[in-house]
Structure 1
Amino acid sequence: MKHPILSGSGYKLYVIVWLIVMIAHGSVLYFFYDFSLTISITDSIVYNLTFGSIVPGFWFIVTFGSLNKDELSLIGTHTGAAFLTIVVWLSVSGFILKYIFQSSSVYLEFLSSSNVWRIIVGILFYSISVLIFYLIKYYQDMQKRMNRELELQNLLKDAELRMLKSQINPHFIFNSLNSISALTVSMPESAREMVIKLSEFLRYSLGKDSSELNSLGQEIKNATLYLDIEKVRFGDRLKFEKKLSDECVKVKVPNLILQPLFENAIKYGVYDSMDPVIIKLTCESSDEVLILQLVNSFDPKAAPTRGEGIGLENVRKRLQVVYGRNDLLEVNKKENEFSVSLKIPKHLEND
């Protein structure tokens, strides 16, 4: 634990405080006790410089004394430390001043008679110094706890994000391998094309897993690879349209955040439809957020496809972990249209 006076720039404030105390001390002797300027300044310097040189040691009493949870022992420690400090302070200071002003009987008499109020001042100085050190120690301990908690939160956040992202690739690969398996007999050339595109997609996706945020433009490029894979299977039944501004594509978003949305649109839109299904991606940008909307048509008469619900819930959790908000994903379902809206804050809380 850093010493508040001996480390850093704390000594500057410490020196300023004691200079103020010295000026006040000397002024009292000069104006109220009618001592000469020399005696007033010397008395102030000797007593305050002596006590000021002892005070930094109180930090170690506070630091190591705090390890003892017994309140009586702690009170005893400070009582003994205060007594020893005042005895040493008055003895050393008195010896120095008696030697300097040995010819001034008036000052020497004052020096002997002033021990009572100097003891009171010494107790006050000790109490204030120790209290300040306790406050500083409490603040340093609180900062350490906050840093540890923040570090732990970041570790948990990173672990949760890795867990959530680890659900995406296996889920997609499972679906893709099923598609390839279905095409190997009926459409071997299409299956071969799908394998090539799948390898390209995985090479891109795995290379981006090391970074949490990616530009929207790169994410759309990644999603387009995925759609190209699915077009091998669905042909003209799958159509994709996008409307994005130049500003939108530069905004950072969590990587692979669009992947589950496109999977969801294909699974619940294209699978059970014999007619062409259009998947539309639009983007609106404001000063604070990026609003992405993915819309796909579906056949309301088709039997609902059952699944594990990994996709949208995964996106919701990732947005909550990254941005600390649970209002960033909205799902709407109309007669024959399904839409998902994402709000992407342009700035993280710790930026």
Structure 2
Amino acid sequence: MEHPILSHRFGLLIYLGFWFSFTCALFAIDWYFQANFFQNALISSLSISLPLLIIAPSIWYIVRHIDVDKIGRMAAALHHITVAIIMVAIWLSLTYLIFSFFDKAPIANNDKPEIIMPYYWLAFMAFAIYDYIVMVYYVFIYYRSFKSKIENEADLKNLIKEAEINALKSQINPHFLFNSLNSVSSLTLVRPEQSRDMLVKLSTFLRYSLDQDLKELNMLSNEMENSRLYLEIEKVRFGDRLILDFEIDESIKDLKIPNLILQPIYENAIKHGVHESLEPVVIKTKAEIRNNNLIIQISNNFDKDAITPKGKGIGLKNIMERLNLIYGRTDLLAITRTESNFVVNMEFPQNN
């Protein structure tokens, strides 16, 4: 995160304005209310405020280093107390050095300047100012984090709209519907019961796909049920060339994953594996819970000698972006490709 003062012109101007106001306030107190000489009051106020000109911006790096969310409030407070003692000691030392320098200089009316207040009161004031600066920096950090979260939510909404369009295009595309209906037509005369069953599965699959909101989470059991419908419809087309293997424990079926996030992976397995292979292709789905994460692995073999259709990888890219925006992590999707096997590993953190 950029420095709020040094990285922005307006931030620097605002800070200099506050510093000048602080210096003027010290001068006014010493000159007007304590009836000190003009030059003496100016020396006193500058001796106190000049160290602050450097110390205040440097506190930012300390605040960035002390992460309250990671180390806890008590540890953060102890860190800040320690740093505050060091900063106040540096501030008072610099104030004394500057004041001593002017103290040796010739002063009008032979009056030696006097500091505006005793050093123990200066120490108290320095502690209070340190606390105030720390508070301002934390407010700035939380504001930027909140703003970033809003921007991420806006990006997620835009991505969801894109994903909805891409999902509908891939799930209800003319080729899929044409192939499915053509298979139903072929089965009508030969195996009417199977054609009727395929129509029911097709309508159920389309209804589920249209009803889902991609920004929400759904139970694994519902997603797998819909995925099975899709794969069983495709199995009618490819017959023994498509073999389905599921290893899913009943105890994890209530865990949550994003809606329709598995669909593009199965489509890729059909398109690049089953469609281009003359040998049987096994699409294996394995799901387990590990360290409070739902781990889903989808793999399929493919014909290494077949010329697979070229794609842009939009489906997997959308999955990665959705996982990043929903869970705030970029390491939840891993793809492994060997000579004749394609494996997709996904992790879904379970917060509840």
TM range (shorter): 0.5 to 0.7
What's the RMSD between the two structures over aligned residues?
3.9
**C-alpha distance in 2, partners of 1:275/1:119?**
91
Give the distance between the partners of 2:207 and 2:134, measured in 1 at CA: 55
2:331 is matched with which residue: 318, 326, 329? 326
* Structure 1 unaligned spans of 5+: 1-65, 89-115
Matching residue of 2:342: 339
**1:190-242 per-position Cα deviation (integer Å, ceiling 9, x unaligned):** 88866653442232233332543222222111101212332343344433221
Tell me the distance in 2 between the aligned counterparts of 1:177 and 1:321: 32
1:139 paired to 2:142: no
| Distance in structure 1 (CA, Å) of the matches to 2:15 and 2:331 | 45
Q: Are positions 1:266 and 2:270 aligned together? A: yes
Match of 1:202 among 202, 206, 221: 206
CA contact (8 A) 1:214 1:253 kept: yes
TM-score with structure 1 setting the length: 0.58
Q: Relative to structure 1, is the Cα distance of residues 178 and 331 closer, same or farther in structure 2, using a 3 angstrom cutoff?
A: farther
Contact conserved, 1:86 with 1:119, CA < 8 A, in 2?
Answer: no
How many residue pairs were aligned?
Answer: 255
Q: 1:326 to 1:68 in 2, by over 3 A?
A: closer
Which letter does structure 1 place at the counterpart of 2:166? Q
After superposition, where does 1:41-80 map in structure 2 within 5 Å? 67=14, 69-70=16-17, 73-79=20-26
CA deviation vs aligned residue, 1:99-153 (integer Å, no higher than 9, x gap): xxxxxxxxxxxxxxxxx99962497365654554344333323322232223323
Q: Structure 1 residues 86 and 326, CA, compared in 2 at 3 Å: closer, same or farther?
A: same
Q: 1:263: Cα distance to partner?
A: 0.8
Give CA-to-partner distance per residue, 1:286-312, whole Å, 9 cap, x none. 224433222334334433233343333
Aligned to 2:232: 228
Per the alignment, do residues 135 and 271 of structure 1 end up closer, same or farther by CA in structure 2, a change over 3 Å counting?
Answer: closer
Larger Rg: 1
**Unpaired segments ≥5 residues, structure 2:** 1-12, 36-112
* CA gap 1:151/1:179 in 2 versus in 1, 3 angstroms: same
Query: In the alignment, what sits opposite 1:277?
Result: 281
SS state at 2:117 partner: helix
Amino acid at match of 1:172: Q
Q: What is the TM-score normalised by the length of structure 2? A: 0.58
Residue identity in the other structure for 1:150 = K
Amino acid in the other structure paired with 1:270:
V
Corresponding residue for 1:245? 249
Task: Quote the sequence identity (%).
Answer: 31
SS at match of 2:154: helix
Shift of 1:68: 7.2
- 166 and 126 in structure 1: CA distance in 2 versus 1, 3 angstrom threshold: same
Mapped partners of 2:134, 2:33: distance in 1: 23
Q: Which residue of 2 aligns with 1:315?
A: 319
